[in-house]
Structure 1
Amino acid sequence: MEFRQSSKLAGVCYEIRGPVVEQANALEAAGHSVLRLNTGNPAAFGFEVPDSILTAMTRALSTSHGYGDSRGLLSARQAVADYYLRRGFSELGADDVYLGNGVSELATMAVHALVDGGDELLVPSPDYPLWTAVTRMAGGTAVHYHCDEQAEWQPDLADIAAKITDRTKAIVVINPNNPTGAVYSDELLRGIAELARRHNLMILADEVYDRIVYDGARHHHLGAIAPDVVCLTFSGLSKSHRVAGFRSGWLVVSGPRDHAKDYLEGLTMLAGMRLCPNGPAQHAIEAALGDDSIDALIAEDGRLTRQRDRAWHALNDIPGVSCVKPRGALYAFARIDTDVHRIHDDEKFVYDLLLREKIHVVQGTGFNWARPDHFRIITLPEADELETAIRRIGRFLDGYAQ
């Protein structure tokens, strides 16, 4: 008997860790050095864990080896609730918070608790591909709304409105955005909230980069903007506190919970089925929410800002390549002019770049962008290394044809 993958996986793609990754692994196994510009992993590029987080975790190790509350440690959940109350949310308590093994686990739980076969979620294009993947795994359809590159990658409100149907359950909003680095305006977010309000939709707000913004940009929380809309806010410590491997994230429920009582019972059941979140990592949360070390990294002369600037300039210096300046997050989403560079298969471009230059980036179609004319890089390497790598990409493109 041949065992085959479940039909539930048909059409499910997660190219950040897809087939090209396997080739990168094979190259490293053969002794090559590969520059991994595909995954936002701060630890791989020398970013240190704040001492307060390590201290809080190590002190709790001897008492965190047993199962805990399925929603998570009470003190950590209360710390998360207090964090959002200080940022304009209303009427939040510890019971409105679910802790998880990173945002990825919580997003999967949230979508599976919401979506029936044939239901639709509105998801941005380009997106962080997990949202599309888990929607399909849950039996739903991810309907992609357009983010406008000419408007600094802001979502197109008219396009969102046009794609709402009687099967639409929620709008996914990724802000600050991965992969584009866009930070959404207050006006735009109020427009999205009004659409959700008018059509009785839930909002799923992926805000894991809320503290990583540049040039004085301000992040606005959708849950604070729309207190009368059921909103699930997702965030965690992986990026802002450089502890991706600790898998420490949270989901906050705001808005009229009485409208979502049955849904929340389902979400709580799923939380119980995974027994509980990682024990030691939960003890990091309260300490982390009082840590502001990210501020120095995103300051005008901070490391993350310098790297963002150098990457942005270097990408725009490549003939036939352009990039909207990222206002947040840890990525740059570059456009390839296919009239200059004859590329019709962006996955093949990424694969060939990896083989020749040993640089691993992610193709734009891996983020559910319809055309093969973009690629994403992370901006985590030191500025000199990053600029050198981008120049190598430019030289590769100069002689490349499909």
Structure 2
Amino acid sequence: MDPKTKKAKTCWNVPASTIAEQTFNPIRNIVDSMKLTPNPEKEMIALSIGDPTVFGNLPDPEVAEEAVIAAVRARKSNGYGPSVGCKMAREAVAKHISTPSATVTAQDVILCSGCSSALDLCITCLANPGQNILIPRPGFSIYKTLAESLGISILMYDLIPEKSWEADLGHMEELIDVNTAAIIVTNPSNPCGSVYSQRHLEDILALAEKYKLPIIADEIYEHFVFPGLKYHPIASLTKDVPVLSCGGLTKRYLVPGWRLGWIIINDRHDVLTQVKSGLVRLSQRILGPNSLIQAAVPDILEKTPASFYLETLNYIKRNADVFYERLSAVPGLVPVMPQGAMYMMVGYDKDLFPEFKTDIDFTQSLVTEQSVFCLPSTCFQYSNYFRIVLTVPTEKVTEACDRIQEFCSNHYTDVLNGVNGHQH
């Protein structure tokens, strides 16, 4: 039959594409399927969403607001710009990101619609269907969502809670095979709040160098580290391993809805020449991020006072200290003290809470009885933990701890010693 021959269909059949069918967000799927019915006698305390703006207690910097207002009033940033972002904004990002050992220029920067868009472009550009990328476990679910939608497999290397969630390097090396296209490294970490030492990052880089694998560095929480600790951009620690570093304004500046992210192409020995061209072409699918926010970027990055960062970090660190001290004293709970970002992972001994088969059951019951909502670690491809967000108002931290303690007291069951409920 002539392929040009038209034949009327007798019924509608409009299927979704393969990519659409393969796109699956674990967090949304799990949360949407949970039976979240809060206790009507207790106000809901949501410790679940990594959005620092939810409670209104952590305002964005005034400098940022003024910069956006000025961009609006100037009426010079209302049109289309380059798909990779306007030069002025890219120059500001390059200056902000550059270190003595890893200097980049505007030509190495691609601006995106948030860090998730940056990750999307990097994964799409580095891997083909049938290949795999290594991601951390527990890890941010977007890596899995993005990769599997494209037919790219994910292999999850374990993080070690007893070592402040350092990567299990032996496990990472075991997973690498001929189809591995890249390693994703998250530092500082969501959901763990870990901040890697220079030595640990260098050990990861040594593996990447050994197997000649590029690194996708999720560094959206750059410099978001507690006092006494130091953030090391992974690209600053290597002269050989190519690194695509993904970041943005979202977390440090407390403006997730502004959707301004970036990719920093840290090329080594010109091995990313094709990748760089590919990222530029992929950026043309979106045609650049928000033009008004781009216009504000130079002032935001250059003029935000250091006191703003310090006050934000001190606030979150104080909350982390309270959560850690209080929850450490609850039998059956094992919180892991974070070193940065805005999260804490809390483990529970499943043998002491036998009525809960999974962490989803545990957190769902916590909502039903105490109106405290934490994300189950199943959202991060892990089990028997839950993640709490540290950006809530301090008075809610104490109340949340009281409720979690009461919940655990009611359900604690030490079978070996014949103790259950309130008796311990």
Count of paired positions: 396
Separation of aligned partners in 1, 2:260 and 2:42: 32
User: 2:342 maps to which residue?
Assistant: 330
Kindly indicate whether the alpha-carbon contact (under 8 Å) linking 2:187 and 2:219 is maintained by their aligned counterparts in 1: yes
Across the aligned residues of Structure 1 and Structure 2, the Cα RMSD in angstroms comes to 2.5
State whether residues 342 and 390 of structure 2, in contact with CA within 8 Å, keep that contact through their aligned partners in structure 1: yes
Q: In the superposition, relative to structure 1, how do residues 157 and 124 fare at CA in structure 2: closer, same or farther (>3 Å)?
A: same
Q: After superposition, what is the alpha-carbon deviation per residue over 1:98-127, rounded to whole angstroms, capped at 9, x for unaligned?
A: 111110111111111222111111111110
Aligned to 2:368, the other structure's residue is in SS state helix
Greater mean alpha carbon deviation, residues 31-40 or residues 193-202: 31-40
Partner of 2:275: 263
Matching residue of 2:52: 42
Name the residue aligned to 1:213. Answer: 225
Q: Per-residue deviation at 1:5?
A: 5.6
Asked if the contact 2:319/2:397 (under 8 Å) is kept, the reply is yes
TM-score in terms of structure 1 length: 0.91
Q: Secondary structure of the equivalent of 1:332?
A: strand
Q: What amino acid maps onto 2:143 in structure 1? A: W
Structure with larger Rg: 2
Which stretch of the first structure deviates more once superposed, 290-299 or 260-269? 290-299
The alpha carbon displacement at 1:193 in A equals 0.9
Cα deviation, residue 355, structure 1: 2.9
Q: For each residue in 1:62-110, what CA deviation from the matched residue of structure 2 results, as whole angstroms up to 9, or x when unmatched?
A: 222211110112111111111122x334341101101111101111111
Q: CA deviation at 1:383?
A: 2.1
User: Could you tell me how far apart the structure 1 residues matched to 2:44 and 2:317 are?
Assistant: 24
Q: 3-state DSSP class of the match of 1:280?
A: helix
The sequence identity of aligned pairs, in percent, is: 28
1:120-135 maps to which residues of 2 (within 5 A)? 120-135=132-147
Distance 1:389 1:69 in 2: 47
Q: 1:398 offset after TM fit, Å?
A: 3.0
- Are residues 31 and 16 of structure 1, via their aligned partners in 2, closer, same or farther at CA, if it must alter by over 3 Å? farther
- Whole-angstrom CA distance in 1 between matches of 2:176 and 2:140: 20
Task: Find out whether 1:64 has 2:77 as its counterpart.
Answer: yes
Measure, in 1, the Cα distance between the counterparts of 2:18 and 2:363. Answer: 28
- Structure 1 residues 19, 199: CA separation in 2 closer, same or farther (over 3 Å shift)? closer
Q: TM-score, normalised by structure 2?
A: 0.87
Where 1:283 maps in the other structure, the secondary structure is: helix
Q: How big is the shift at 1:9?
A: 5.7
**8 Å Cα contact 1:334-1:375 kept in structure 2:** yes
- Tell me the residue number matched to 2:391: 380
Gaps in structure 2 of 5+ consecutive residues: 1-11, 414-424
Hey, what's the Cα distance between the residues in 2 that align with 1:23 and 1:34?
Answer: 16
Which residue of 2 is the match for residue 197 of structure 1? 209
Counterpart residue number, 1:164? 176
Helix, strand or coil at the partner of 1:253? strand
| Contact map agreement 2:37 2:367 (CA 8 A) in 1 | no
Q: Which residue of 1 aligns with 2:357?
A: 344
The answer on whether the counterparts of 1:318 and 1:391 sit within 8 Å (CA) in structure 2 is no
C-alpha distance in structure 1 between counterparts of 2:35 and 2:398, whole Å: 21
- Mapped to 2, the partners of 1:232 and 1:143 lie a distance apart of 19
AA partner of residue 373 (structure 2): H
Q: Quick check: 1:120–1:170 contact (8 Å CA) kept in 2?
A: yes
Q: Which of 51, 55, 59 lines up with 2:66 in the alignment?
A: 55
